[in-house]
């Protein structure tokens, strides 16, 4: 998993909110960011410094097939 601890701390509140939506038969919509090397979806080279190991790890976490990319 990749992410800030402070962000992960919000998961219980998000789960409770989702449970309330489900109990009320309200729709839930999930979105995610994907990273690709394909020209139509590729990030511009100036957007991220992939030489930075932290940035490279974050970008890899957003690639389809990565465990952290799954919904």
Is 43 strand, coil or helix?
coil
User: Which pLDDT belongs to residue 1?
Assistant: 53
3's CB contacts (< 8 A; 6+ apart) are 68
- pLDDT digits 0-9 by tens, 1-55: 566 778 888 989 999 999 999 999 999 998 888 888 888 778 888 888 889 998 8
pTM of the model: 0.59
Tell me what pLDDT residue 45 has: 82
DSSP-derived 3-state class of residue 28: coil
21, 27 Cβ separation under 8 angstroms? yes
């Amino acid at each position: 998993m990749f992410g800030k601890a402070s962000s992960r701390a919000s998961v219980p509140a998000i789960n409770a909110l989702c449970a309330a939506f489900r109990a009320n038969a309200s729709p839930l919509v999930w979105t995610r960011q994907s990273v690709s090397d394909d020209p139509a979806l590729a990030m511009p080279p100036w957007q991220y410094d992939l030489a930075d190991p932290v940035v490279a790890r974050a970008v890899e976490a957003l690639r389809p097939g990565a465990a952290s990319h799954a919904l």
